[in-house]
Amino acid sequence: MSEATTDSISDSRKFPILLWLLRPVVAIPLVIMVLIVAAPIVYRSMQFRGIPPIDPIVDPEVDGRVVLPVDENAFTFYRRASGMHPVVSGSIADGAGVAAIDRGENWSVVPSDVRDHLEKCQSALGTWKLGTEVDDGHYLDVADFDYSTLLPVVQDLRRFSRLAVLQMLRCQDEGKTDEAWGWLRASLRSSRHAGKHGVAIERLVGTSIHNQTARAIVHWAAQNEVSSEQLSEALADVREIYRLTPATSATMKAEAILAANTLKDPHKSSLLLPKSSGIPHGLMRAYLFLKGDPELGRELTRHVFANYLSQCDLRPSDRVLAIARLGLYRPTGKEVPHLMDPARLSDAVMNSPIVWHLVAAQGQIIMACDLERSCQTALDLCILFEMYRRQHGDYPESINALVPEFVAEVPRDWLGTSTSEKMLCVSGKKELTSDDPNAPIVVRPCLIIYGRGRVAGDGGGDLSYDNDVGLRILLPHAVREEERPKLN
């Protein structure tokens, strides 16, 4: 058979097959099948539209691992102390000391069961205090973290800080002002260990302990038994301890590693989806595939943290906020890596429930670090106010009165919008709480030293909800009662 005849037979066979495939009863089902297979892939690829690729911005092995000698790691002692803490049956209000200082009261108001509990904790407290003398502390390697990692020993630092305040009150009652300061100094140092090489939760534990201890220090400094020399030494300690504070960017890098590790595990990623999504558990992986995860999630979190890292260590007045919803900054064009458009990035994050869950609070974490810095400045000034009182017999009428004897100039407000916005001081009153809803409102006059907080502008010393951020010096005058407002 010739070659031409063979080709003719082959073509004649192909032609009927082509005609058969073009028949509606065959073609339509085939097209539908192709669309069913292709549609998810096309939809998934569309999720990446407008998202430029970005290389990893942190190295877990460099930024997420810390090696400290055992005896130079505060958490070596904190772990031991946590294990030594006695089991509490029932409810022991170990926060009674903090409540007392906030009311301007002393050891006499601490309940007997709390005193007994404090006595049982002496061994654990002693071990905890040994840890506070170490300059560095590292709990777990961030490189091994994900969002489900538990931090029990870090959380226990709050409890030891509350016990330290009780110790301070007892020492004051016994006239041991130096020993009382030693417990506050220990609490302040432990606040710097929490989150020094850790994630945001650890850092927030540290800021909480710092604020609580700052209030206790103001209470201690206001006692007439505390001398000018002791105040001067305390001020030097307070400033030196705060130098142990890590940069905000260190916490952001840790959070970037945590987010990347979480996205590696599809099961843990799926647990971040809100229950309101209504997606059956068996379809969760298919849903994540359609949304582009985990690849898209990794790209978006890298872009988000690259944005935060570009400006988070600057003064708030030097940052340029672009998207308030996520706290994203406006790029300058000089960043490396190049930053994604904040509006487009925000929209993409809002379209990804998992990424939103991982990054939604980061702007607030940066704000918490800023608020702590303002609180630290207020603490410095409170101690200086007490030094002024020892020297001149009364508190200064304003922060300006400290210049130039105690400070070269009035400190700038960290959260101020310009160099002209300084820390502020006003006279106010502190309401002393009561469990009786019908009791009159008991107030005590105070000085409020503060800076601007979450709300732009001067809130007049309103420390509620961090509208302003600062500390109160309760004045040694008699309290007075005011009638409660009548409710209609």
Q: Is residue 39 part of a domain?
A: yes
**100 found inside a domain:** no
Q: What pLDDT was estimated at residue 455?
A: 81
Query: Which of these three, 306, 340, 360, is where a domain ends?
Result: 360
Question: CA geometry: angle at 39 spanning 34 and 43, to 5°?
Answer: 160
Cβ atoms 44, 287 nearer than 8 A: no
The pLDDT value given to residue 57: 94
393: left (phi over 0), alpha (psi -120 to 50) or beta: left
CA angle centred on 417, ends 415 and 422, rounded to 5°: 65
Q: Is the pLDDT of residue 446 over 60?
A: yes
pLDDT tens for 302-328 read 999 999 999 999 999 999 999 778 899
Within-domain flag for 138: no
Q: Are residues 420 and 352 in the same domain?
A: no
List the domain range (segments joined by +) for residue 30. 3-46
CA separation for the pair 308, 196 (Å, rounded): 18
- What distance in Å separates the CA atoms of residue 230 and residue 178, rounded to the nearest whole number? 8
Peptide bond into 404 cis (omega under 30): yes
Other Cβ atoms closer than 10 A to 66: 17
For residue 435, the model assigns a pLDDT of 55
Q: Is residue 201 in a domain?
A: no
Tell whether 299 is covered by a domain.
Answer: yes
Rounded Cα distance between 41 and 256, Å, is 28
pLDDT at 488: 41
* 412: DSSP letter: B
Q: How far is CA 69 from CA 46, 128, 134, 137, in A?
A: 50, 17, 11, 10
Residue 120 lies in a domain: no
Residues 355 and 398 both lie in one domain: no
Q: What is the mean pLDDT of residues 345-353?
A: 88
Give percent of the chain above pLDDT 70.
84
**How far, rounded to the nearest angstrom, does the alpha carbon of residue 359 sit from its chain's CA centroid?**
12
Taking the C-alpha atoms of residue 176 and residue 91, their distance in angstroms, rounded to an integer, is 29
Same domain, yes or no: 281 and 352: yes
What are the Cα distances from residue 430, in Å, to 35, 104, 392, 423, 444?
Answer: 69, 10, 25, 20, 5
For the segment 387-412, what is each residue's pLDDT rounded down to a tens digit? 999 999 999 999 999 999 999 999 99
Instruction: For residue 324, count CB atoms less than 10 angstroms from its CB and return exposed for 0-12, middle for 13-18, buried for 19 or more.
Output: exposed
According to the model, what pLDDT value does residue 94 have?
A: 80
The strand pairing partners of 421, in sequence order, are none
* DSSP-assigned beta bridge partners for residue 472: 448
- Residue 106 falls inside a structural domain: no
Alpha helices (H) in 133-246, listed in sequence order? 152-173, 177-193, 200-221, 228-242
Q: Looking at 243-361, list the stretches that DSSP marks H as alpha helix, in order from N- to C-terminal side.
A: 248-264, 266-270, 284-290, 295-311, 342-350, 353-359
| Mean predicted lDDT score pLDDT of the chain | 87
Residue 430's φ and ψ, nearest 5 degrees, are: -110, 120
Contact predicate 163/118, CB 8 Å: yes
Looking at the fold, whether 351 and 270 belong to one and the same domain comes out as: yes
Residue 370 binned pLDDT confidence (cut-offs 50, 70, 90): very high
Structural domains of the chain, count: 3
What global pTM score does this model have?
Answer: 0.88
3-state secondary structure of 392: helix
Name the token pair of 62.
């460099």
| 477: Cα separation from own chain's centroid | 37
Shared domain for 353 and 398, answered yes or no, is no
Of 310, 345, 360, the residue that ends a domain is 360
As to burial, measured by CB atoms within 10 angstroms (0-12 exposed, 13-18 middle, 19+ buried), residue 321 is middle
Residue 473 located in a structural domain: yes
